[in-house]
Structure 1
Amino acid sequence: MKLLENISKFAGNTFAIWVIIFAIMAFFIPSGFTWIAPHISLLLGIIMFGMGLTLSVDDFKGIVKAPKSVFIGVLAQYTIMPLLAFALANLFQLPPEVAVGVILVGCCPGGTASNVMTFLAKGNTALSVTVTAVSTILAPIMTPSLTLLFASKWLPVSAGDMFLSIVQIVLIPIVLGVVIRLLFQKQVDKSMKVLPLLSVVGIVLVASAVVAVNKESIATTGLLIFSVVILHNVLGLLLGYLLAKILKLDFQDQKAISIEVGMQNSGLGSALALAHFAPVAAVPSALFSVWHNISGPLLATWWGKRSSKGQ
């Protein structure tokens, strides 16, 4: 068990490196990874189940303790990123499938990696966890509705089918995880340190599969999509921070909301894109997964060092 814990800690600390390495491998040796694509929804369900195991009633107490900060975080999550995605899709005149893919990842809830990044940045980790949990619980309603609103200009969107998909691969696994933790808390707490390994392996496999399936599209339009993804992420981080600052939240909350807004659940974006649109629509989510696991640690490290110097 100790060995698994050490491996899990190492994998969590080097998450970005593994995403990049396997994405590159999938691009050059796609046949080794395409078999994963049909199992992306299952992988995401396992990741969400792991997230459910980490949640407790205390994670939702932030709604009562700091309702203003939680409301701002969730509102920013579901306004800034979808609006940015819509603006970038129009500005760069993206092909329909790619435009929908960018908008889809923008309409997803925050990713669990944001909690780790907030901790490293010495931000308000409790707020980050609460905002991630609330935005994820709201995802079955918010993600299909916003995708329908912003993406139907390019392609038909079935909000009802997306709702069912998110319930199946996000909501049900999370609820199961929460219930199992309530019933078997001691056993779950003992294995808590191994859970990051589950998330790392899952996200790495999802990103690799999407890259492998879309090798040709990435080769021809990858630079354009990657440029849009970088802008989407960086502007999300910046606008999330500025909004929290304008609304006079403290610096720890500003950092948490910035990271929450900028780091999306790109695994969910990939799964929904493959299930409801063309495979190329999953490319923005895959590249987002690669990029935000570079920008997130860089920003978190910089903020963390600044906090240490300040102290």
Structure 2
Amino acid sequence: MTLLERIIKFFGDYFAALVILAAALAFFNPAPFKVTAPYIPQLLGLVMLGMGLTLTRNDFAAVFERPRDVFVGVLLQFLIMPIVGYIIAGTMGINPELAAGFILVGCVPSGTASNVMTYLAKGDVALSVTVSSITTLVAPFITPYLFLALGGQYIPVNATALLIDILKIVLIPIIAGVVLRHLFGSVVQKLIKIVPLISVVAIIAIVAAVVAASAQRLASMAGIVIIGVMLHNLLGYLIAYLVANKLCGMSDYKSRAISFEVGMQNSGLGAALAMVHLSPVAALPSAVFSVWHNISGPMLAAWWSKRLPVEAGQAGMPSSR
């Protein structure tokens, strides 16, 4: 194993710990990390560019092979997490900025770490990759109006400005990545192994910047944010699995994938949008979500991999996403 491969593996294996460490450093010494705050959209755009570089036709194969399964996954993603976020915001007695932050992180698309968690849980990886790809691509046209409908009662929401920013932060970089892969496939293939490292470093920088920007107020609200995020994430897993399995008649194999797709959010996008359009306080749920779902996801995946039967036809390990 080369030095670069060891570094990539280290950052991947200890991602959650590194995020916690960076957040702690930013809390106790915010000044150096505040410098990064204005560049949060660019950092997330870099992550999305990496996603575009990894996309292939196979990532969308399930749309045509199993359209019902994909539809269920996308629909549940944009129903369950926004509604759960809305309920948390309305029942926990929190200020409007924080309430809006919980709703916003519920309205963003799936997190790409869900693909790896589905693989570890011995779930339907092909379905997971397709659903996360589709939810990310349609998010610019859904997330702003979901947030307007649910978060607009707490703070003023400019849905058009949100749409434009999500297009710039998400869709355009993804398309650029796809185009680069098509035009310079051989070069991209040689560089693709560093994409996970770049993505991890970018997310760590985003979380640290959010914590630094709100360090003065974080101490008084850290408990409520952590509890709310844990509830949001765990209810997402549970409700998605039960709806997919019991109501939609999907197998355990498929339902595990849907559970991770719904429960794990693109919290980096939530943080970026909150910092630009709301406030550092509103970005806190997304920042904490980035840490927590990378702890709960591996725990759930490990439990499922040991306790639930493996079905035939499990897809292989997702590449770099």
Report if TM-score (shorter chain) is over 0.5: yes
Determine the C-alpha separation between the residues in 1 that align with 2:209 and 2:69: 36
Determine the C-alpha separation between the residues in 2 that align with 1:43 and 1:282: 15
- 1:184-242 deviation per Cα after TM superposition (whole angstroms, max 9, x unaligned): 22222222222110111011110111011111221011101111111000000101111
The equivalent of 1:271 in structure 2 is 272
Retained in 1: the 8 A contact 2:253–2:310? no
Shift of 1:309: 8.9
Determine the C-alpha separation between the residues in 2 that align with 1:239 and 1:188: 39
Shift of 1:310: 9.5
The equivalent of 2:11 in structure 1 is 11
Determine the C-alpha separation between the residues in 2 that align with 1:256 and 1:125: 7
Retained in 2: the 8 A contact 1:226–1:287? yes
Q: How does 1:50-65 map to 2 (within 5 A)?
A: 50-65=50-65
Determine the C-alpha separation between the residues in 2 that align with 1:310 and 1:250: 9
Determine the C-alpha separation between the residues in 2 that align with 1:116 and 1:58: 16
Deviates more, 1:36-45 or 1:246-255: 246-255
Determine the C-alpha separation between the residues in 2 that align with 1:199 and 1:119: 19
Deviates more, 1:143-152 or 1:120-129: 120-129
Retained in 2: the 8 A contact 1:9–1:193? no
- 1:65-85 deviation per Cα after TM superposition (whole angstroms, max 9, x unaligned): 111111111001000000001
Determine the C-alpha separation between the residues in 2 that align with 1:116 and 1:15: 13
Deviates more, 1:188-197 or 1:275-284: 188-197
Shift of 1:126: 1.0
What one-letter code is carried by the residue in structure 2 that aligns with 1:8? I
Q: Please tell me the root mean square deviation across aligned C-alpha atoms, in Å.
A: 1.5
The alignment of Structure 1 onto Structure 2 pairs a total of residues equal to 311
Where in structure 1 are there 5+ consecutive unaligned residues? none
Instruction: Indicate the percent of aligned positions where both proteins have the same amino acid.
Output: 51
Where in structure 2 are there 5+ consecutive unaligned residues? 313-321
Retained in 2: the 8 A contact 1:109–1:135? yes
Shift of 1:13: 2.0
What one-letter code is carried by the residue in structure 2 that aligns with 1:218? L
The equivalent of 1:221 in structure 2 is 221
- 1:118-174 deviation per Cα after TM superposition (whole angstroms, max 9, x unaligned): 111111111111111100011111110100000011111000000000000100000
What one-letter code is carried by the residue in structure 1 that aligns with 2:234? V
The equivalent of 2:316 in structure 1 is none
SS in 2 for 1:33: helix
The TM-score normalised by the length of structure 2 is 0.94
Determine the C-alpha separation between the residues in 2 that align with 1:302 and 1:196: 25
Q: How does 1:146-157 map to 2 (within 5 A)?
A: 146-157=146-157
Determine the C-alpha separation between the residues in 2 that align with 1:17 and 1:144: 32
The equivalent of 1:293 in structure 2 is 294
- 1:98-131 deviation per Cα after TM superposition (whole angstroms, max 9, x unaligned): 0000000000000111111111111111111111
The equivalent of 1:35 in structure 2 is 35
Deviates more, 1:190-199 or 1:32-41: 190-199
Q: How does 1:48-87 map to 2 (within 5 A)?
A: 48-87=48-87
Runs of 4+ in 1 over 4 A off after TM superposition: 307-311
Q: How does 1:69-148 map to 2 (within 5 A)?
A: 69-148=69-148
- 1:32-71 deviation per Cα after TM superposition (whole angstroms, max 9, x unaligned): 2111101100000000000000101111111011111111
